[in-house]
A and B are shown apart, each in its own frame.
Chain A
Amino acid sequence: MENSASYQVKLEVFEGPLDLLLFLIRKKKIDIHDIPMATITKEYLEYLNKKERINLDREAEFLLIAALLIYIKSQMLLPREKPIEDEKDPRQLLVDRLLDYQKIKAASLLLKEKEEKELQKWKRASIPFQSFEKEMDSLEVSLFSLAESFFTLMKRKEKEEAQIIKGKEFSIEEKIQEILAVFEENSFLDFFDYFYEQESFEEALASFFALLELIKSRIVIALQKSHFQPIKVWLRDKAPVKRT
């Protein structure tokens, strides 16, 4: 009953190519130590073909494993002068990787259960302090003063530092994740400190756009008590402003 049409699962649900491979092996009820290379390679490639386009940034790894599968398959097909028993099974490397990965994955599931339990216990350090803070009267910082502060800061920084030559590109998406990650640890993000730590102008610019994007989508809010006071960025629903 298992035809390829039943694998209508998106590539995104897999943590990576090894995850996909394990999924296929389980579906086919194959022994991991004795993988039929032709079948599994076919399944795997069919899977990739379902994608209309491959996003090379994210999915290059899937192609890498595809190449490895084809390589192993061809190794096994090649006629040999010596009998194969003398050599290592070409699949061994892949099997070892899959077994290692399988263990990590299973362990991460067990850890997830532990996390679930732990999150129900509250420690003093995990109490978000702003809940008890008096609500301060803060002003929302306008876009212009935010931009102005940003460029003033960048100019000041420019004077301090020598030219840094760097090829790295920064994506706004990554920076959004980075900013949101800050809020998991801290209740607010200090605007000046945050941008001061950025290594290059390009990076700071990406971060700034990410911040603007978050403000626009009303996820965060930038506040300051009055002019010339530090600007603090808060998650909108945790910000110390009077709810109206």
Chain B
Amino acid sequence: MKERLKEVVESLIFISLEPLSLEKIKGVLTEFPEEDIDQAIKELLESYAADERGIQIIQAAGGYLFSTKSEHDAWIKRLLRVERKNKLSSAAMETLSAIAYHQPITLAEISALRGVDSSQTLKTLLQKKMINIIGRKKSPGNPLIYRTSNKFLTHFGLSDIKDLPTPEEISKILEEEKNFEKEEN
């Protein structure tokens, strides 16, 4: 059965619509030793990376998920008769980034960071399940507290919240902008 393990894991990932975590896989495959499962996943990832295939296994939101390769985007859209997938608005992006870096955070805090009332954007992000309400703050008015969700991680291809752009990457962007303006003038 051990040699079959790789196939079993593959089918579990295939059937999942959301990233399948290692704990969940282990929770299902109780009859197998954990090291064997780890090994099977490792081999599976290697074989997908090596073979010439249209699909790949990606790691997002702390789990494994099948996805197509980005090179094939144009044909997939043609098949599905979809023009483009919906992108988030720049207000939504800014709000998400404020939440991602300052979570847990309240609406008032988000609005203060952006200098703009963010209640409407927040509502949209909740509807899109990019953020979750995780409770209420123990301060006057008991405002709701928000956090980014697993869907947020998947949407941006982040495996973990630690994969957010680092302070170094951010300062690099800011430097580049400065230099660009110098050249411009």
Contact = CB atoms under 8 A, between A and B. Distances in A.
Interface string B24-43: 00000000000000000000
A125 B17 contact: yes
B80 A15 contact: no
B67 A123 contact: yes
A109 B90 CA distance: 9
B134 interface: no
Interface stretch (B2-10, B45-53, B122-130, B136-144): B122-130
Main secondary structure of the interface of A (DSSP, over half): helix
A16 B164 contact: no
A111 B149 CA distance: 15
Interface of B: 17-18, 58, 65-70, 73, 76, 79-82, 84-88, 90-91, 93-94, 96-98, 100-101, 112-117, 120, 123-124, 127-129, 154-158, 164-165, 167, 169-170, 173-174, 177-178, 181, 185
Nearest to A115: B156
A181 B170 contact: no
A29 B179 CA distance: 11
13 contacts: A15-B94, A18-B115, A64-B115, A104-B94, A106-B165, A108-B96, A108-B97, A116-B87, A118-B157, A119-B84, A124-B17, A181-B124, A182-B127
A110 interface: yes
B87 A123 contact: no
Contacts of B181: 26, 29
A15 B90 contact: yes
B68 A122 contact: yes
Which 9 pairs from chain A and chain B are nearest by CB?
A: A16-B116, A120-B70, A108-B97, A18-B115, A110-B165, A120-B73, A125-B17, A121-B67, A118-B157
Of residues A19, A110, A127, which shows the largest number of chain B Cβ atoms within 10 Å of its Cβ? A110
Contact of A104 (B18, B88, B97, B156): B97
A112 interface: yes
Q: Chain B interface secondary structure, helix, strand, loop or mixed?
A: helix
Interface string A156-199: 00000000000000000010011001101100000000000000
A145 B150 CA distance: 41
B106 to A, nearest CB: 16
B156 A111 contact: yes
Contacts of A178: 123-124, 127
A34 interface: no
